Chains A and B, each alone.
Chain A
């Protein structure tokens, strides 16, 4: 992940998510992981003694910590990040996007990066599979359906196909 300018957590509207966090499940996993780290640290503090070693952080959490310049050993910063992530999880916009085949992480990374840059910085996706569309994608938002698939394109060119079937010019 490229290094970006640190974004203060005090600017909630500027909170963005790393490219590795694509879906709500990814975000929930991050929240769980962060909560786990917090719990481990809390347990260690209760036992007293030297600062306990934190569990290994996932790539997503590491990217997040790097993005927001968070010291994961600092409980206040951890808590602030956790609160922020929980807020984002509750309020982040999302839509469902389906592909003909399982998208690769690189593909998703590029796609989500463009979407958060052009549409909303906290946009999350729900990834689906629809082999019948062959190529392209279909997007389902709250109340609309957008078909950008090859299936639809072929359907729109049905008259052309019928023209060829009838033996004449379309």
Chain B
């Protein structure tokens, strides 16, 4: 039941009660203000009044009042029940409405929150991915540089080793055979070498003298 229906019912009850009360009061006023009539009419009036008085005596009025009060109370209680049930219904509807609205709002907010978390996670994942790619690139660059550096160092060490080994071998050979070769046996070789470079030696000697 809607609120306006409830108001209408209450208004109707109050109107009926007011009408009843007015009617009762009007009848009472009419009884108290009877006119000075001629004898015949006066007698009729007196009889009528007596009849009315006989019919509407205090007991009858009391009875009417009682019925009116009971009817009024009945109507009031019924309307109160209607009002109470309407209020309960309205309360239940309000509860449902609040629940729905709150649930919907919470759902929306949780959805937005979840979306923002998802977006943040996505951003974090992208950032981590970019960082990982940058680190991977840097690692490759460093690995390449390290490999080149190692290769260069290895080549240098190999060259140094070869040079040292060649020097060691030369020294060993020279030391081993140096005192084994008789100088007299070298005369032919020496003369041959001097013969090959004779012109250069001679020019330098003559330039010097």
Q: Which positions in A face B, CB cutoff 8 Å?
A: 91, 93-95, 99-104, 106-107, 110-111, 114-115, 118-120, 123, 131-137, 139, 141-144, 146, 148, 150-151, 154-155, 158, 161-162, 165-166
Measured between beta carbons, the chain A residues less than 8 angstroms from B169 are 161
Is B178 on the interface with A (CB-CB < 8 A)? yes
Interface size on B, residues (CB 8 A): 33
Q: Which residue of B has the minimal Cβ distance to A120?
A: B205
Measured between beta carbons, the chain B residues less than 8 angstroms from A107 are 183-184, 187
Contact A141-B174, Cβ < 8 Å, known A106-B184, A114-B191, A120-B202: no
Residue in contact with B165 in the complex, picked from A99, A118, A131, A165, CB distance below 8 Å: A165
Q: Would you give the shortest CB distance from B203 to chain A, in whole angstroms?
A: 9
Contact A136-B190, Cβ < 8 Å, known A91-B209, A106-B184, A165-B166: yes
Q: How far is the CA of A100 from the CA of B179 in the complex (A)?
A: 8
- Whether A136 lies near B178 (C-beta < 8 A) is no
Is B208 on the interface with A (CB-CB < 8 A)? yes
- Whether B174 lies near A151 (C-beta < 8 A) is yes
Residue in contact with A162 in the complex, picked from B166, B173, B190, B200, CB distance below 8 Å: B166
Measured between beta carbons, the chain B residues less than 8 angstroms from A142 are 204-205, 207-208
CB-defined interface of B170-209 with A at 8 Å, one 1/0 digit per residue?
1001110111010110110111011101101110111111
Measured between beta carbons, the chain A residues less than 8 angstroms from B186 are 135-137
Q: How far is the CA of A168 from the CA of B195 in the complex (A)?
A: 36
- Whether A143 lies near B204 (C-beta < 8 A) is yes
- Whether A139 lies near B194 (C-beta < 8 A) is yes
Please name the 10 residue pairs, one residue from A and one from B, whose CB atoms are nearest each other, closest first.
A142-B208, A148-B193, A134-B178, A134-B174, A141-B204, A93-B205, A154-B170, A135-B181, A93-B209, A144-B204
Q: Which residue of A has the minimal Cβ distance to B207?
A: A142
Q: Would you give the shortest CB distance from A127 to chain B, in whole angstroms?
A: 11
Q: How far is the CA of A36 from the CA of B207 in the complex (A)?
A: 34
- Whether A134 lies near B181 (C-beta < 8 A) is yes
Q: Which residue of A has the minimal Cβ distance to B190?
A: A137
Measured between beta carbons, the chain A residues less than 8 angstroms from B206 are 93
Contact A134-B173, Cβ < 8 Å, known A100-B178, A107-B187: yes
Q: Which residue of A has the minimal Cβ distance to B175?
A: A134
Residue in contact with A111 in the complex, picked from B177, B179, B191, B197, CB distance below 8 Å: B191
